């Protein structure tokens, strides 16, 4: 009896978590597949007219849904911003990938020396690094804008990449140094006895061993960049440089836009993050958890 009640509690709690965390996303998927006139009419059941892919067709091809061509349709319901979603995904991809690669290139050597060496200034520089992301970005946005403007980087992807790289680097260094610290010290001592210089130890021993962790950390940096909004907004220019977070914010602030179309845009923007969730869970979180058990 006890076991049965326990089982029921598990199911109830799991469903609550699923509804809380996944519910809003599921709603947007449904919303994207049902036209507004059904969505907004409580007398009709949701799937009375079957699934409707007009929104998706419009976003990718620009072909207007038939219902919006009617004479009395509100033209404002169609937003060009929705059509920018696919290309903004490309922008986000380029920006996030560049930030990820830069993070690993710049962050891994620092993480390695933090993890394995004692040197003067270690504590100060490490504290500076891990505390810097706690300074609220909103407070620094004006000076950073002015600084990048003087470099001519406002309105370019390069500017956004630079800011995202700097914002993710503390996390990259922190996570990677945790991984490097978990490697057995004797391995590095053996390398020293085997005539490895610090650089050779790093390249020939530490990096090959940390490869899965480096992949995981890279994903994390990618994710931070992909979801960042504020700097993306002030630093991006026209549609050619706008990442997905900026385009979505523009859509969200447009109160006239069709719900169905909005949800279509949302769901298209969510798909890459769904893939990210699975990857991040597999590599980052489980890596951190399993390592923690051993340590």
| Binding test (CB under 8 A) with another protein, winner from 113, 153, 154, 239 | 113
DSSP H or E stretch at residue 3: helix 2-33
Closest approach of another protein to the CB of residue 117, in Å: 5
The site string for another protein over 1-40 (x = CB under 8 A, - otherwise) reads ---------x--xx--xx-xxxxxx-xx--x-------xx
Q: Which residues contact 35 (CB under 8 A, 6 or more apart)?
A: 49, 52, 54, 65, 67, 260
Q: How far is CA 178 from CA 57, 215, 217, 221, in A?
A: 46, 14, 11, 16
Closer Cβ to another protein, 48 or 131, answer by number: 131
Please report, as residue ranges, which positions from 254 to 283 form the binding site for another protein (by CB under 8 A).
Answer: 259, 262-263, 266, 269-270, 273-274, 276-278, 280-281
| Binding test (CB under 8 A) with another protein, winner from 192, 212, 237, 256 | 192
Query: What spatial distance separates the first Cα and last Cα of the chain, rounded to whole Å?
Result: 39
| Binding test (CB under 8 A) with another protein, winner from 44, 74, 117, 240 | 117
76 belongs to the binding site for another protein (CB under 8 A): no
Residue whose pair of structure tokens reads 């290139």 in the numeric block? 105
Closer Cβ to another protein, 65 or 287, answer by number: 287
Please report, as residue ranges, which positions from 149 to 188 form the binding site for another protein (by CB under 8 A).
Answer: 162-163, 165-167, 169-170, 172-173, 177, 181, 184-188
Closest approach of another protein to the CB of residue 10, in Å: 5
Binding piece for another protein, criterion CB under 8 A, among 46-54, 58-66, 68-76, 194-202: 194-202
CA distance 49 to 71: 22
CA distance 4 to 109: 53
Closer Cβ to another protein, 39 or 154, answer by number: 39
CA distance 222 to 101: 9
100 belongs to the binding site for another protein (CB under 8 A): no
Three-state DSSP at 231 gives helix
The dihedral built from the CA positions of residue 242, 245, 248 and 254, taken in this order, carries a sign that is negative
Closest approach of another protein to the CB of residue 294, in Å: 10
């Amino acid at each position: 009896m006890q076991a049965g009640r326990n089982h029921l509690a598990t199911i109830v709690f799991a469903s609550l978590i699923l509804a809380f965390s996944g519910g809003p996303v599921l709603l947007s998927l449904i919303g994207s597949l049902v036209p507004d006139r059904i969505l907004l009419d409580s007398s009709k059941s949701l799937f009375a007219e079957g699934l409707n892919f007009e929104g998706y067709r419009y976003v990718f091809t620009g072909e207007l849904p038939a219902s919006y061509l009617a004479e009395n349709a509100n033209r404002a319901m169609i937003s060009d911003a929705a059509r920018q979603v696919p290309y903004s995904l490309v922008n986000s991809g380029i920006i996030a990938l560049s930030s990820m690669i830069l993070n690993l290139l710049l962050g891994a050597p620092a993480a390695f020396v933090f993890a394995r060496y004692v040197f003067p200034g270690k504590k100060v520089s490490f504290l500076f690094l891990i505390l810097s992301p706690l300074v609220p970005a909103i407070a620094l946005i004006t000076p950073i804008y002015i600084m990048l403007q003087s470099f001519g980087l406002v309105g370019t992807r390069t500017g956004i990449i630079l800011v995202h790289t700097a914002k993710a680097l503390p996390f990259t260094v922190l996570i990677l140094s945790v991984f490097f610290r978990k490697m057995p010290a004797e391995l590095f001592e053996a390398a020293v006895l085997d005539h490895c210089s610090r650089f050779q130890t790093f390249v020939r021993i530490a990096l090959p061993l940390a490869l899965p962790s480096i992949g995981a950390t890279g994903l994390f940096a990618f994710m931070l960049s992909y979801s960042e909004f504020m700097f993306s907004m002030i630093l991006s220019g026209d549609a050619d440089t706008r990442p997905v977070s900026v385009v979505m914010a523009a859509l969200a602030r447009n109160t006239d836009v069709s719900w169905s179309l909005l949800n279509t845009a949302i769901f298209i923007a969510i798909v890459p993050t769904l893939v990210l969730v699975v990857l991040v869970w597999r590599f980052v979180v489980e890596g951190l958890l399993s390592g923690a058990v051993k340590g």
